[in-house]
Amino acid sequence: MVEGSNVSKFVQLIRHIGYNDFDRFELATVLSPPPALRIRVDHMKIDLDAADVVVAEHLTEHGRSVRFQNDPISSASADEDSGTPSPLPSGDVLLTFKSPLQAGDRVIIASANAGQTYVILDKAVRYFGT
């Protein structure tokens, strides 16, 4: 059973398939954000565009359905006290998440298939001492 975060699952999948000298994690810089995505891998002289990479869903613009379930007792008493409707909708709502990738962002990528496939896993951040 594969468990953990998406990155952890990806590493476990690579280990399950077998070691390959060409599979590695690297850093890249976003040159142009989606939909005209373009990145530059640190050690490469050429840029990769959207057709050259696979992007983790949470880094793309996508929709996700969520369900709000208001507590009818507390919602009813709050509504009666204030005279205003509950601020949260009730039922299913479709949220649209915008891509967080912007020009200049650093990203963590994995290369596979002897460098023929690149996967953008996440944004890379550094914390500096205060």
Tens of pLDDT, residues 42-67? 988 989 999 989 998 889 888 888 88
Domains in the chain with CATH codes: 23-68+89-129 (2.40.50.140)
User: How many C-beta atoms surround the C-beta of residue 33 within 10 A?
Assistant: 16
Q: How many helices (H) and strands (E) are present in the chain, helices listed first? A: 2, 8
Q: Which pLDDT does position 105 carry in this prediction?
A: 95
Q: What mean pLDDT is predicted for residues 9-19? A: 74
